[in-house]
Structure 1
Amino acid sequence: MRAGLSTIEQTLTAEASGVLGQSIAEARRRNHGQTTPLHVAAALLSSASGYLRQACIQSHQNSSHPLQCRALELCFSVALERLPTAQNPTSEPPVSNALMAALKRAQAHQRRGCPEQQQQPLLAVKVELDQLIISILDDPSVSRVMREASFSSPAVKAAIEHSVNTSASAAPRLFANPPLMNRNVYLNPRLPLGDEVTKVVGIMRRAVKRNPILVGDSEPEAVVRELLRKIESKEFESEGIFKNVSVISMEKGISMDELGGVIESRIRNGGVVLDLVISNGWQRWGSWLQDLGVSFG
């Protein structure tokens, strides 16, 4: 194993080799039998270079949110937790077949991308960090986790490839102006919302609120609108839920006096779903609603 790992490390630049070392260390810490592309992806997200994280943000700049990368980290952490532990863990968990395939893809891409390297011996071709990331994103297990956190591997790859094609003098401005097509590859906002709405309803029906982070494939605003539409159209009544719930939209300019009367009457007989616009005025509404006894779970 040591000899095999040494050979692999010879094909990587120092930065890419460092990421591989972190991945092996994480697999060892978790007592995993192998080092997989999931370990490498998680290491890339936490890398000091921030290369993958920045590419993820720029892949859908028009809908980015500070918590999206955090959600992606959590999804990879959950995926790693699901991997089986080894009965007899080794000090250096061997590279899995999937990771070996990704490393070979990276080397082939690196060789094709540099004509001057095509005549060099195979071990002389050093895989740069960007090519390692692109090859890892091609792995099915990594792509699946990316989708769970509402990221698209092709869109992230497009952002990276765009930065690679820019001149070396523009390096400090990596991803500064990704092409519009790269930002729009992200997600189709018209994807079916049924699963996401079902998850939200399940959370709302819990007796104990734990303030969960809901991760899905659709934009949060689209999920909220679909949920409110279903409540207003009484689509949940057949399931015996939300029978006496009213939806109050704060966008309609309702006064505080009117809102107070509606909330007090509905809380006694059913429930209220407030369609709040998150803005600077939220603190004023939130403080006032708490004075009425409305809690936020």
Structure 2
Amino acid sequence: MAEKLIEVNNLKKYFKTKKGMLHAIDDVSFYINKGETLGLVGESGCGKSTTGRAIMRLHEPTSGQVIYQGEDIVPYGSRDMKNMRKKMQIVFQDPYSSLNPRLSAAEIIAEPLYVNRVYKTSAETQARVREVMEVVGLEERLINAFPHELDGGRRQRIGIARALALQPEFIVLDEPVSALDVCIQAQILNLMNSLQKQFGLTYLFISHNLSVVKHVSDRIAVMYLGKIVEMADYQSIFRNPLHPYTQALLSAIPVAKLDSVKNRIILEGDVPSPINPPDGCRFYGRCRYRMDVCKNQNPELIKTDSGSYVACHLHTAKAEA
């Protein structure tokens, strides 16, 4: 049986705004097994990145649990979290804004080593920097280069090297290739895959691109307006999507073949406000299968006979029957 490295239970994150409380994450639960990749997908503004940052405690959760190897890290103080960050790291979406423009590549990669006082001498630290640069495919001649002197792919490799410097077990990949050219995307994805095999890493891969997520994930969780609406292994998601929102997302994936005909599902209506979310299903106003029960009763995430998880009254009724 697979060992759970991280488990998220009933996680919530609300932001206070002038118009009220913004429900960025609203009662999200999932787990990630050791050595696997969980893809987290959804449209912009659904709460994907906030979920990754809340797990890392970059955003303090409003409530819920983040259990890492059996311990809830939400109540941890700053000293305990500093030790946890040696095990948990994050790679940000924009490979330029996430790097300090005043520091060279070597200084950026060495920063977490100095902060955590990993090595006693500067020579040991620099040796580790060179080692990590080699692992992520950065030439040694770039050791004193500044971020503005490099292309997007090399900048993102610096971000990955910085995350790897402390030898973590778990990495949040927050849309790590969305700001890169397609050919560079493939290089970074192949790099992340080889690093996972080499070091036994566990990933939370956040993206809005289902085509990318399909090739890197073991399981996929689909998020809509702060909630997980479907979660299953990648094959089940693509072969037999259960939630109407997942079906619409998959129908929007571009097809390369010119002679192919794809039935696209056009979603009508507007996305509800996260400041004042509806009491019932949050997808009710855009769903072609909506029923009366959907308007007033929020569907729970249930496990189906196939092993998939789905939050939809269409499947709740089947399970109860």
TM-score past 0.5 threshold: no
Report which of the two has the higher share of helix. 1
**Could you say which structure has the greater relative contact order, defined with CA pairs below 8 angstroms and 6 or more residues apart?**
2
